[in-house]
Structure 1
Amino acid sequence: MSLNHLSAKWRQWRWQMEFYHTPLELRYSYRLLSRISDHPLLRLLLLFLRVPRFFPCRLPPRPRDIMAYQPEAYMNQHHPDVYETRLIPAWRWRDTPQRAFYRLYETVCAYDEPLTGYETEYLWRRSDRPAWR
């Protein structure tokens, strides 16, 4: 085989790999959602509905209501798969700093220390960099 032939094969393979890669990592997102959801395709498609980011998000309950739960039980009941969904690029794309701050508030009130650390790091390292930082 000549070097030219190998170079052409390499370019062809590389083009195919770039063709299969998407910025939102749809295959990875689908595989992840199939582990945590009964209907992963539907859940992935719902992430692409054009809901404006400026819609107000639902206010979290009062601290007294959250603290009535056992430690970490509130987050397990109201946000059961927040660890996994945070890994999905389409979900991160739709998430807003306000929603992340509300989740942080809920984790502090629910005494969920590991999730408080994860949510703080997620809020701090967001790519859109809120102006208050």
Structure 2
Amino acid sequence: MPLFWLLGFPHRLKWWTPITRLQLRLSFRRLWLGSNNPLRLFFWLIQPFPWRFRVPPQLTAQELRNFKNIRTRRHDGILQLRCIPLFQYRDTPLRSIYRIYEYLCSGENYEVGYEVQYFFFHPSQWRIEDIPDPRDDNQERYAILASLIDVLVNSFNWRYDLGLRRSGNREDPQPACEVAPEWAREVKRLAEPLDFEPGFLKEENAFVRRNIYLSSAYFYNV
């Protein structure tokens, strides 16, 4: 019996209403078209424990330098997952920040722009200051995370000044300015430079202030 039919069969039953709001049938169709392994990804998506997805084991900045096709190898189906309600409910701001870290270090800057947009328009309207301390034991990775949070704060406040709102409704009043969480403000500058883009014109940004040479341009896509 087709899986699409099974997912849609009980749609008239009252007890099924909360489940239909999760758009499981549409979600499976999205994954089928946008994932290398849609069945594996779909069953990962609907398994209930733990409810909030955990941050996966991370690579170092040096390992990510030469990591090719990170979107398909580390984040299969992410373009579709960002549009799926169940994924949005179970995703966390910390996981999103780590995805930005991976895209930055692997040089897939266009993915940085997509992820920043996803964070900005997330239905839960995550506040940057509420991002918990990951207590990352890798000094370079920790410094990159803190720096990208600082850049994210600037880019969100820049969007607010342009009139953009996280709800998508420009008529909403301007929200309070975003601020970085305290833990990010306390992360120290690296003793040795970490240069991902040799030869590029060093712009003044939060990365450079921590001795990390990365561009922040893709944080400002609208």
How does the TM-score come out when normalised to structure 2?
0.44
Higher percent of residues as helix: 1
Cα 1:47–1:80 change in 2 (3 A) is: closer
Q: Conserved in 1, the CA contact under 8 Å of 2:52 and 2:90?
A: no
Deviating more after overlay: 114-123 vs 53-62: 53-62
Which residue is equivalent to 2:119? 123
Which residue is equivalent to 1:29? 27
Gaps of 5+ in 2: 1-10, 130-177, 179-222
Superposed displacement of residue 65, structure 1: 0.6
Q: C-alpha separation between the residues in 2 aligned to 1:79 and 1:93?
A: 17
Highest relative contact order (Cα 8 Å, sep 6+), 1 or 2?
1
Aligned length: 113
Which residue is equivalent to 2:99? 103
SS of the residue 1:80 aligns to: coil
Q: Conserved in 2, the CA contact under 8 Å of 1:66 and 1:110?
A: yes
Q: Taking every aligned residue pair, what percent have the same amino acid on both sides?
A: 25
SS of the residue 2:101 aligns to: helix
Mapped pair 1:58 → 2:56:
yes
Cα 1:60–1:28 change in 2 (3 A) is: same
Instruction: Select the structure of larger CA radius of gyration.
Output: 1
Counterpart AA for 1:104: I
Gaps of 5+ in 1: 1-17
